[in-house]
Amino acid sequence: MNDAVSSVNAGASEIEFWFDFASNYSYLSVMRIEAQAMQRGVAIHWRPFLLGPIFRALGFDNSPFVLQKEKGAYMWKDMERQCRKYGLAWARPTTFPRTAVLATRVALLGAQQSWIAVYCRRIMQLNFAFDRDIGSIDVVSEALGELGLPAQQIIADAQSDANKLRLREQTAVAAAKGIFGAPTFFVGAEMFWGNDRLDDALALCDTTATPG
């Protein structure tokens, strides 16, 4: 199976982008990674996964931002600052973290398609700018419809047993790679964690690209 890539140029280096639609800091990276990668001629491998199983394996039954009140209070203030910095719309979700299994299954199904980046941005906007329930069939169908995509067929394929298994396997791969949060980026074997490390990861891509 071929990996999905965006911004592919001959000789371009590549970045793996591991993200979760329920992750607030993933929102920041999803909204800006494609444009930045295109500027550098870097191919993006989109890797949607679920943080919940990762957290549970680490002994957490919820997001650390929920379990640690002080950390959570800081995070919400920081998100206001970061969204102002990047010029992104922001509305604190009334449910956090929000279940996003269906949206993630669709992203995994579409990771080899040309619509993956715009779909991911729309889902993130619905969650973190419009406070919509991205776990619902209605909201995911709406997002796909806005993009002119066959929502009913895509959701049916996303909900297939084979695709459900693929998402479980993808999340297991994330754990095996040592991922403990989102967003996480890989350039070769080098791992970078957090939205504030996207620039560092892309800078490393500049040094690893081969002449085209």
Q: For residue 67, how many C-alpha atoms fall within 13 Å in the half-sphere facing its CB?
A: 8
- Which positions are annotated as active-site residues? 23
Q: Say if 7 falls within a structural domain.
A: no
The pLDDT value given to residue 34: 97
pLDDT tens-digit profile of 23-52?
A: 999 999 999 999 999 999 999 999 999 999
pLDDT tens-digit profile of 95-109?
A: 999 999 999 999 999
Helix axes 198-208, 24-40, angle to 10 degrees: 30
Instruction: Name, in order, each residue with C-beta under 8 angstroms of 67's C-beta and a sequence gap of 6 or more.
Output: 60, 61
The residues with which 43 forms a beta bridge, in sequence order, are 14
Q: Say if 149 falls within a structural domain.
A: yes
pLDDT tens-digit profile of 161-209?
A: 999 999 999 999 999 999 999 999 999 999 999 999 999 999 999 766 5
CA distance 64 to 69: 9
Residue 59 near residue 47, CB atoms below 8 Å? no
pLDDT tens-digit profile of 120-163?
A: 999 999 999 999 999 999 999 999 999 999 999 999 999 999 99
Q: What is the CATH number of the domain that holds 24?
A: 3.40.30.10
Q: Say if 2 falls within a structural domain.
A: no
Q: Which two tokens stand for residue 16?
A: 């793996």
The pLDDT value given to residue 112: 85
What values do phi and psi take at 63, rounded to 5?
A: -60, 140
Give the closest residue to 149 by CA, choosing from 127, 167, 157, 164. Answer: 157
Q: Say if 202 falls within a structural domain.
A: yes
CA distance 101 to 123: 12
The pLDDT value given to residue 135: 94
Q: Say if 22 falls within a structural domain.
A: yes
Per the structure, the count of domains in the chain is: 1
Q: Say if 21 falls within a structural domain.
A: yes
Q: Say if 4 falls within a structural domain.
A: no
Q: For residue 12, is pLDDT > 70?
A: no
The whole domain housing 175 covers 14-208
Q: Say if 142 falls within a structural domain.
A: yes
